[in-house]
Chains A and B, each alone.
Chain A
Amino acid sequence: MAPSGLALFWACVIAFAILIYTILDGFDLGVGILFGRTRDESLRVQMMNTIAPFWDGNETWLVVIGAGLFAAFPDVYAVFLSAFYLPVLILMIGLIFRGIAFEFCFRSLRMRRVWDRGFSLGSTVVAFVQGAAVGAMLRGIPVVDGHYAGGAFAWLHPFSILTGVGLVLGYALLGAGWLVLKNEGPLRDWAYRRIPWLAAAVLIALLLAFCITFDYSLVARNGLQVRPWGIVFPLIGIAALTAVVFGVRGKRDQIPFVLSVVFFLVSFLSLGVMFWPYMIPYSITVGSAAAPDASLQFLFCGAIVVLPVILAYTISVYWIFRGKLHKGEISLL
Chain B
Amino acid sequence: MSFDPVFLSRLQFAFVVSFHIIFPAFTMGLAAWLATIEGVRLVTGLPVYRRVFDFWLRVFAVSFGMGVVTGIVMAFQFGTNWSVLAQKTGPIQGPLLGYEAFTAFMLEATFFSVMLLGRERVSPRAYFLSCCMVSLGTMSSSFWILANNSWMQVPLGHAVIGGQIIPANWWAIVTGPVMRVRWPHMLLAAFLTTGMCVAATGAWYALRDVYREEARVMLHWSLGFVAVVIPIQIFFGHLTGEYVLHYQPAKFAAIEARWKTEQPASEVLFAIPDSRSERNLFAIDVPRLGSFIASGNWTAREIGLETIRREDRPPVVIPFFGFRLMAGMGLIMLAVSWLGNLLRWRGRLESTRWFLWGTFLAFPTGFIAILTGWYTAEVGRQPWVVYGLLRTREAVTPSLTTGDVLCSLLCYGLVYGVFVSFGLYYIFKLLRQGPTAGLRPIRGATGGRRPLAYADDPATATGGKVEAGT
Contact = CB atoms under 8 A, between A and B. Distances in A.
Interface stretch (A178-186, A255-263, A297-305): A297-305
Interface stretch (B241-249, B351-359, B445-453): B445-453
Contact of A294 (B72, B168, B450): B168
B407 interface: yes
A108 B68 CA distance: 23
Interface string B78-90: 1110011011011
Nearest to A112: B466
Chain B's interface: helix, strand, loop or mixed, by majority?
helix
B80 A82 contact: yes
Contacts of A294: 91, 166-168, 170
Contacts of B453: 103
Interface in A142-198: 146-152
Given A53-B447, A146-B87, A332-B447, A295 B466 contact: no
Contact of A93 (B84, B400, B411, B460): B411
Contacts of A77: 78-79, 86, 90, 94
Given A93-B411, A147-B398, A295 B94 contact: yes
Contacts of A313: 109-110
Given A48-B446, A70-B78, A89 B105 contact: no
Contacts of A79: 83
A333 B448 contact: yes
A95 B452 CA distance: 16
Contact of A67 (B75, B110, B397): B75
Looking at A100, A148, A298, A313, the one whose CB has the most chain B CB atoms below 10 A away is: A298
Nearest to B452: A103
Nearest to B86: A78
A92 B76 contact: yes
A81 B399 CA distance: 11
B94 A107 contact: no
Interface string A46-66: 001100110010011011101
B97 interface: yes
A96 interface: yes
Contacts of B240: none
Contacts of B113: 333
Interface stretch (B123-131, B283-291, B312-320, B414-422): B414-422
Interface centre among A88, A106, A309 (most CB of B within 10 A): A106
B73 interface: yes
B390 interface: no
Given A53-B449, A67-B75, A332-B447, A82 B399 contact: yes
A105 to B, nearest CB: 9
A282 interface: no
Nearest to A329: B445
Interface residues of A, number: 70
Contacts of B84: 78, 147
A93 B407 CA distance: 12
B83 to A, nearest CB: 4
A330 B170 CA distance: 48
The majority secondary structure among interface residues of chain A is helix
A75 interface: yes
A295 B446 contact: no
A220 B168 CA distance: 38
Contacts of A60: 105, 108
Contact of B79 (A53, A78, A93, A151): A78
B444 interface: yes
Contacts of A86: 404, 407-408
Contact of A70 (B97, B117, B399, B448): B97
B422 A104 contact: yes
Contacts of A92: 72-73, 76
Residue picked from A53, A68, A103, A292, most chain B C-beta under 10 Å: A103
B77 to A, nearest CB: 9
Contacts of A48: 445-446, 463
Given A81-B80, A299-B95, A306-B105, A152 B90 contact: no
10 contacts: A66-B79, A71-B90, A80-B79, A88-B76, A95-B72, A103-B450, A151-B399, A294-B167, A295-B90, A306-B106
Given A53-B449, A74-B91, 18 more contacts: A45-B445, A48-B445, A52-B447, A60-B108, A70-B75, A70-B78, A82-B80, A82-B398, A85-B400, A99-B69, A106-B466, A107-B456, A107-B460, A295-B95, A302-B98, A310-B109, A332-B441, A333-B117
Interface of B: 69, 71-73, 75-76, 78-80, 83-84, 86-87, 89-95, 97-102, 105-106, 108-110, 113, 117, 166-168, 170, 397-401, 403-404, 407-408, 411-412, 415, 418-419, 422, 441, 443-450, 452-453, 456, 460-466, 468
Those 9 A-B pairs whose CB atoms lie nearest each other, nearest first: A74-B90, A81-B79, A71-B94, A78-B83, A313-B109, A71-B98, A53-B447, A67-B101, A70-B94
